Amino acid sequence: MGKKLSTVDSIEKQTENNNVMAREDFKIPVPEKKLKSRFFKSAVILMTVFLLVGGGVHVWSEWLSPGAIEAWKYGLYQKYYVDRYENAMRQDVWGGKTPQETLDLLVAALKQGDIDLASKYFALNTDENSEYYLTRKQWEEGLEKNRQERIINQMIATISQMEISSRQTGSTSSVEYIVKGGDGVVDYSMIFNFNDYSGVWKIESM
């Protein structure tokens, strides 16, 4: 009877050992591929966060910061004034293909008493700080004053005698015309500048 119990105990113990081994064998190991996949996903997430943060800093510094906004406004301001200047110059088509032709056109307009036409042969004011910027109002006002003072005919007589000066202006797009007195001293001068935008010569000063 004792031997039978011993045998039963042995069988039960063996069965228990087998169950333990079975449970251990039945544990599901984590595949190596899944570990790599998790690592890859974590790396992607970290990289995405890094890029978003870095990109945000770049966007802020380049576009949204006060300095970036001021630079953008200044760029627009500059573009506006450049475009305005160039458009005005292109539309300034009054004048001749040579300085002499422009001078002759001025004399003809003055003889006709057409102050408005005569003023158009003068260059536009390019001083941004002037109230006359990109206009010829100072020339219109000056010619009108000469007419009221009845000295237009004297002006015509003077500029009709003008000749190209032998003095160099230092530029191929600028020419000086002068009138000399009896002593050979220059009494009167006019500067003509070439408008590259419209291709005509304009009176810059007189």
CA torsion sign for 39, 45, 49, 50 is: positive
Buried b (16+ CB within 10 A) or exposed e, 22-48: eeeeeeeeeeeeeeeeeeeeeeeeeee
- Residue 33 confidence (pLDDT): 54
Full pLDDT tens readout for the chain, 206 residues? 444 445 545 545 555 555 545 454 445 454 555 555 665 566 566 566 555 555 555 555 665 667 777 776 778 767 888 999 999 999 999 999 999 999 999 999 999 999 999 999 999 999 999 999 999 999 999 999 999 999 999 999 999 999 999 887 778 899 999 999 888 899 999 999 999 999 999 999 99
CATH number, span 92-205: 3.10.450
pLDDT score of 78: 77
Specify the pLDDT at position 121. 98
User: Do the beta carbons of residue 107 and residue 153 sit within 8 Å?
Assistant: no
Question: Of 153, 84, 74, 88, which Cα lies nearest the Cα of 120?
Answer: 88
Check if the beta carbon of residue 188 is closer than 8 Å to that of residue 178.
yes
Is the pTM above the cut of 0.75? no
- Break the chain into its structural domains and give their ranges: 40-91, 92-205
pLDDT at 1: 46
Question: How far is the CA of 23 from the CAs of 17, 27, 168, in angstroms?
Answer: 10, 7, 108
Which residues neighbour 154 within 8 Å (Cβ) at sequence distance 6 or greater? none
pLDDT of 4: 45
At 5 the pLDDT is 44
User: Is residue 188 classed as helix, strand or coil in its secondary structure?
Assistant: strand
Residue type, 87: N
CA atoms 206, 112, 108, 172: torsion sign: positive
Cα-based angle 196, 156, 153 (whole degrees, multiple of 5): 145
